[in-house]
Structure formats: C-alpha cells, structure tokens
C-alpha cells in the first residue's frame, strides 16, 4: 500500500508540474456541454477498491475536459483566483498532514504562523498596527462576520443572547457593492430591506451626500443605523468609494465602517496606490483576498479588525469538549469566525511571501497594472471600441461601439473559441466587457494575442451591421 501511495504521488506531482507548463494548450473555458461529465459517472460507486492508475486515467479523461482553466494566462474574466507554485506546494503539504487548526493545541504552528503572517500582511498593506488579522475562507464570510460583530457591539451583545426583538437596525452600502453584503444581511437576519443601497455617480462611486441623507431619514424614522460597507475596488469596474467621506459619516453617526477590498486590496502593497485608499485607516474592519490577486490558491481571505475583543466576545463559546490546558492564555482562532474547524491556510501565505519576496510580489502587481495600461491605450486608439470605465488597477472595462446584443455576441464568440475568456457587466445601463490582467503568469504576448482576436471579431461584427 505504501509503495502504491508513493507511486501515485509521483504520478500526481509529475502531472502538476506538467500542468504548469502546458496550461496554455487547454481551452480556457471548458468546452463540455451540460450533462457530459455527469453522463460519464456511474450511478453507484464501486464496491471494491480501484487502482489509482484507473482513478487517475478517469480524472484526465472525464474531469479535466470539464475544467475551466482559471490558471490559463488568457483567463481574463471575473477576478482571477490565481494560484502559484509555492501555494500549490503548501496545499500539498497541508493536505498530507490534514491539519485542523481550530485551537492552539490542535496545531500550535498553524496558530502561531497565522499570527505572524497576518502581522506581516497588515504591515505590507500599510494597515495600522491597532488592527489584528485572521484568515477566513472568503470575503463573503469576512463581511458577514464584520456585520455580526457590529450588530453585537451596537446592541451591547443583546442579540447574541436574546435573538431579534423587532429590531430597528439598518446598514448601508452602494448600489455597486458586491452581492455578498446583501447576502450577509440575509444571513444575519437583518433583512435585505434593512440594507439600504446608496446610489453611485457615473464612476460607480458611492454618493456620500445621499448616504448622509439616508442616515438622517432613518434616524428620524426611529431606525438605528449601525453598519456601512465602503468598497475599495468594486466587482464590476474596480471603482473606489470615497472612503474618507464615508469614514467621516461613520464617526459622526457611530456606524461600524467595513471596507471590502477583496480584490483590489492587494494593490495596497504598492505605496503609489495608497493615495486611492485615503480613509481606509479609519475603518473598523477590512477584508482583502490573497486568493484573488496575491497568488495564493483559493481559499484564503484576510480579515483585519480593530476591536479584536468584540470579535472574540461575539463568537466564543467553550463547551467542555473544547477546553484545553492552555485556556485563553493562547490564541484559539476557532473563536474568530463562523466555523469551528480551520484549514491551515497561513502555510500558503508563508510560502508565497517567502518564494517571491516583497519585491517579487510588488513587481508582479506593477507588471499587471502596466500591461492593463497598455491594453487600455490600444482600446483608446481603436475606432470601433471605447473604454467604458475609469481604470484604477488592472481591470479594463471596454465595449464595441455597438448595441448590447453585439457586445454579448462578441464576448460569446471569443469565449467559445477557447483562446481567451472574458466576462461582462452593465455600467450606466450598458453592457460592458471586463478584461482583468491579473494571472500569475500573464505576459505581454497574452494580452497582444487577446487584443488581436478581440479586434478581429469586433471588426467583423461591425462590418456585418454596416
Ligand atoms: N467583494 C468583492 C469586491 C468581490 O469582487 C468579491 C468577489 O469577486 C467578493 C467580495 C466575494 O468574494 P468571495 O468569493 O471571497 O466571497
């Protein structure tokens, strides 16, 4: 058995190394039709053991064709969920040890490495030292956690004890904030209607004067404003809310100020980008996802909170079976979030930060931003295309100067080709294509190739209209 395992590890690690070299040869978007994978899977599992060779052969022939290759350098859609060699190596080690780091005692290294790595990241992101960091699975969880802690703090921990009693709480975010904020409002029992969405200007930034007006209206009608999310890099266009203005209102009305920097927060590592984040230091909590633009395999979301005591008070419970001799003289991260069990995610961050070094990480981010600047300039120069949103980071929003339907057709044709993958959104009522230059190994030749293909199909579509 042991020898079989060793042989299987060789096979898998060879495949992993080859995948890194050959990922460009796969179609970016999986080409399988709905139901194709399912039709190749037996209705019942085998009663007897199967050889790993057989399992692995099926993995290659059934599963891989049904994979959309998020690590393909021409995956330009959504936001990347980028991986990297050090992160993959860490995942292999994490899986092999099967660490569950809920308490300090269940793996002291998992807890203590997380403490140190989160201090490193806090400083790298230039977040004030009053903040403490903890790793969560996703930005959605981080935002939910922030909303729950804020709710408890404002009600003096009443709802944790008694449940809701005709609550009057109300929260705010912009119309462009990610759907995870609304989901959090549903999950925590606030109710979607008690999350007010503040209109944005043409650059998709929250209108702070309307926020002020909403808060005043709510106070006058007996409601209790308690939470505001400002976004540093919206999902549609990476717009940045006026964090400074929001922080002033948050102070004035005593609201918890949460900053969703899930994607663009990685850019806080670049001193030249800090100017965009004026006001972030006034936040109560901040979320940044290394599993998006910091080369750390999904999942890994870093959550920074100013009032760590309120967080722990909100979530801690200590049944007999979880008591350990160290008690609360050590950090027990099980008390810092939704789940009890915790993956050993800090190992990935540790490997990634050491493998690239701060200089290497900054260089990669800057290269991505520079390439997206280039792409933007090509779009500006093209007679049939237009840039559709202000670019702050490495997302370029653009459109063919034609109808929404033609733009959707352009995107669909490109995606079906398998050569590249884009996604779309709507800005100011119009369909816009999004191209994020953020893959770990994306190079200039990839954006050149993509732009050539986009231009060619765009021109054919325009000619067909004419
Ligand atoms: N916030 C923003 C701004 C996002 O763009 C996203 C996802 O793209 C999220 C939150 C949700 O991230 P997660 O998948 O980690 O929950």
| 37 CB neighbour count, 10 Å cutoff | 15
Q: How far is the CA of 411 from the centre of ligand 1 (A)?
A: 22
Q: How far is the CA of 423 from the centre of ligand 1 (A)?
A: 15
Segment 383-406 mean pLDDT: 97
First to last CA, the chain: 68
Torsions phi, psi for 308 (to 5 deg): -65, -35
The per-residue pLDDT for range 24-81, each reduced to its tens digit, is 999 999 999 999 999 999 999 999 999 999 999 999 999 999 999 999 999 999 999 9
> Percent of the chain, pLDDT > 90?
94
The pLDDT of residue 1: 57
Q: How many domains does the chain have?
A: 1
Cβ–ligand 1 distance for 178 under 6 Å, the answer yes
Locate the ligand 1 atom nearest the alpha carbon of residue 299 and give its number.
15
Locate the ligand 1 atom nearest the alpha carbon of residue 234 and give its number.
3
Q: How far is the CA of 378 from the centre of ligand 1 (A)?
A: 29
Is there a domain that residue 178 lies in?
yes
Locate the ligand 1 atom nearest the alpha carbon of residue 137 and give its number.
15
Widest distance between CA atoms in the chain: 78
Segment 418-434 mean pLDDT: 97
Q: Which residue range forms the structural domain that includes residue 228? A: 99-343
Is there a domain that residue 168 lies in?
yes
> Are the CB atoms for 229 and 172 separated by under 8 Å?
yes
Asked whether residue 410 carries a pLDDT value surpassing 60, the answer given is yes
In this structure, the chain runs to a length of 466
Cβ–ligand 1 distance for 372 under 6 Å, the answer no
Cβ–ligand 1 distance for 79 under 6 Å, the answer yes
Is there a domain that residue 284 lies in?
yes
Asked whether residue 7 carries a pLDDT value surpassing 60, the answer given is yes
**In three state form, how does the secondary structure of the chain look?**
CHHHHHHHHHHHHHHHHHHHHHHHHCCCCCCCCCCHHHHCCCCCCCCCCCCHHHHHHHHHHHHHHHCCCCCCCCECCCCCCCCCHHHHHHHHHHHHHCCCCCCHHHCHHHHHHHHHHHHHHHHHCCCCCCCEEEEECCHHHHHHHHHHHHHHHHCCCHHHHHCCCCCCEEEEEECCCCHHHHHHHHHCCCCHHHEEEECECCCCCECHHHHHHHHHHHHHCCCEEEEEEEEECCCCCCCECCHHHHHHHHHHHCCEEEEECCCHHHHHHCHHHHHHHCCHHHCCEEEECHHHHCCCCCCCEEEEECCHHHHHHHHCCCCHHHCCCCHHHCCCHHHHCCCCCCCCCHHHHHHHHHHHHHHHHHHHHHHHHHHHHHHHHHHHHCCCEEECCCCCCCEEEEEECCCHHHHHHHHHHHHHHCCCECEEEEECCEEEEEEECCCCCCCHHHHHHHHHHHHHHHHHHHHHHC
Segment 129-135 mean pLDDT: 98
pLDDT, greater one: 53 or 321:
53
Q: How far is the CA of 345 from the centre of ligand 1 (A)?
A: 18
Q: How far is the CA of 141 from the centre of ligand 1 (A)?
A: 10
Residue whose CB lies within 8 A of the most ligand 1 atoms, among 140, 239, 266, for a mutation test: 140
* Band (327; pLDDT cuts 50, 70, 90): confident
Cβ–ligand 1 distance for 237 under 6 Å, the answer no
Cβ–ligand 1 distance for 301 under 6 Å, the answer yes
Q: What is the pTM of this model?
A: 0.96
86: alpha, beta or left, given left = phi > 0 and alpha = psi -120 to 50?
alpha
Q: Which residues contact 47 (CB under 8 A, 6 or more apart)?
A: none
Asked whether residue 90 carries a pLDDT value surpassing 80, the answer given is yes
Q: Which residues contact 244 (CB under 8 A, 6 or more apart)?
A: 278, 279, 282
Asked whether residue 239 carries a pLDDT value surpassing 90, the answer given is yes
The pLDDT of residue 164: 86
Is there a domain that residue 136 lies in?
yes
Segment 273-283 mean pLDDT: 97
Segment 304-329 mean pLDDT: 88
Q: How far is the CA of 60 from the centre of ligand 1 (A)?
A: 30
Is there a domain that residue 209 lies in?
yes
As a whole number of angstroms, the distance between CA 427 and CA 389 comes to 8
Is there a domain that residue 365 lies in?
no
For the chain, give the mean pLDDT. 96
Asked whether residue 2 carries a pLDDT value surpassing 90, the answer given is no
Residue whose CB lies within 8 A of the most ligand 1 atoms, among 178, 231, 232, for a mutation test: 178
Is there a domain that residue 393 lies in?
no
The per-residue pLDDT for range 142-189, each reduced to its tens digit, is 999 999 999 999 999 999 999 987 789 999 999 999 999 999 999 999
> Lowest-pLDDT range, 315-324, 327-336, 378-387?
315-324
Segment 264-290 mean pLDDT: 98
Q: How far is the CA of 313 from the centre of ligand 1 (A)?
A: 26
Q: Which residues contact 462 (CB under 8 A, 6 or more apart)?
A: 384, 400, 401, 402, 406
Cβ–ligand 1 distance for 127 under 6 Å, the answer no
Asked whether residue 358 carries a pLDDT value surpassing 60, the answer given is yes
Cβ–ligand 1 distance for 174 under 6 Å, the answer no
Q: Which residues contact 45 (CB under 8 A, 6 or more apart)?
A: none
The per-residue pLDDT for range 333-352, each reduced to its tens digit, is 999 999 999 999 999 999 99
What CATH number is associated with residue 145?
3.40.640.10
CA atoms within 13 A on the CB side of 415: 21
Is there a domain that residue 59 lies in?
no
Q: How far is the CA of 352 from the centre of ligand 1 (A)?
A: 21
Asked whether residue 318 carries a pLDDT value surpassing 80, the answer given is no
> Percent of the chain, pLDDT > 70?
100
Cβ–ligand 1 distance for 139 under 6 Å, the answer yes
As a whole number of angstroms, the distance between CA 244 and CA 205 comes to 12
Cβ–ligand 1 distance for 235 under 6 Å, the answer yes
């Amino acid at each position: 058995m042991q020898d079989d395992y060793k042989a299987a590890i060789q096979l898998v690690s060879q495949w992993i190394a080859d995948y890194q070299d050959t990922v460009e040869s796969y179609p970016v978007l999986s080409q399988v039709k709905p139901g194709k994978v399912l039709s190749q899977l037996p209705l019942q599992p085998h009663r007897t053991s199967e050889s790993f060779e057989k399992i692995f052969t099926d993995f290659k022939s059934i599963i891989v064709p049904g994979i959309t290759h998020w690590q393909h350098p021409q995956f330009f859609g959504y936001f990347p969920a980028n991986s990297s060699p050090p992160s993959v190596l860490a995942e292999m080690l994490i899986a092999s040890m099967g660490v569950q780091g809920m308490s300090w005692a269940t793996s002291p290294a998992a807890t203590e490495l997380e403490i140190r790595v989160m201090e490193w990241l806090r400083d790298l992101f230039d977040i004030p030292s009053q903040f403490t960091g903890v790793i969560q699975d996703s930005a959605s969880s981080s935002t939910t956690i922030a909303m729950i802690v804020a709710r408890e703090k404002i009600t003096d921990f009443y709802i944790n004890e008694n449940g809701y009693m005709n609550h009057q709480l109300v929260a705010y975010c912009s119309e462009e904030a990610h759907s995870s904020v609304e989901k959090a409002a549903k999950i925590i029992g606030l109710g979607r209607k008690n999350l007010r969405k503040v209109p944005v200007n043409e650059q998709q930034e929250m209108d702070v004067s309307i926020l002020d007006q909403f808060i005043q209206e709510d106070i006058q009608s007996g409601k209790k404003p308690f939470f505001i999310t400002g976004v540093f890099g919206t999902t549609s266009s990476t717009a940045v809310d006026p964090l400074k203005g929001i922080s002033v209102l948050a102070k004035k009305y005593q609201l918890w100020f949460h900053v969703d920097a899930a994607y663009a927060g990685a850019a806080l590592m670049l001193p030249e980008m800090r100017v965009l984040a004026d006001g972030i230091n006034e936040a109560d909590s901040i979320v940044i996802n290394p599993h998006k633009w910091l080369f750390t395999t999904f999942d890994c979301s870093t959550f920074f909170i100013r009032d760590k005591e309120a967080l722990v008070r909100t979530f801690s419970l200590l049944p007999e079976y979880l008591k350990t001799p160290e008690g609360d003289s050590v950090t027990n991260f099980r008390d810092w979030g939704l789940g009890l069990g915790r993956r050993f995610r800090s190992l990935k961050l540790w490997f990634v930060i050491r493998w690239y070094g701060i200089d290497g990480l900054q260089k990669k981010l800057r290269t991505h931003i520079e390439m997206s600047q280039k792409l933007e300039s090509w779009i500006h120069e093209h007679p049939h295309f237009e840039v559709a949103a202000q670019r702050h980071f490495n997302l370029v929003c653009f459109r063919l100067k034609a109808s929404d339907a033609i733009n959707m057709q352009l995107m669909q044709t490109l995606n079906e080709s398998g050569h590249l993958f884009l996604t779309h959104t709507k800005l100011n009522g119009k369909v816009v294509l999004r191209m994020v230059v953020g893959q770990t190994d994306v190079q200039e030749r990839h954006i050149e190739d993509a732009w050539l293909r986009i231009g060619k199909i765009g021109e054919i579509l325009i000619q067909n209209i004419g």
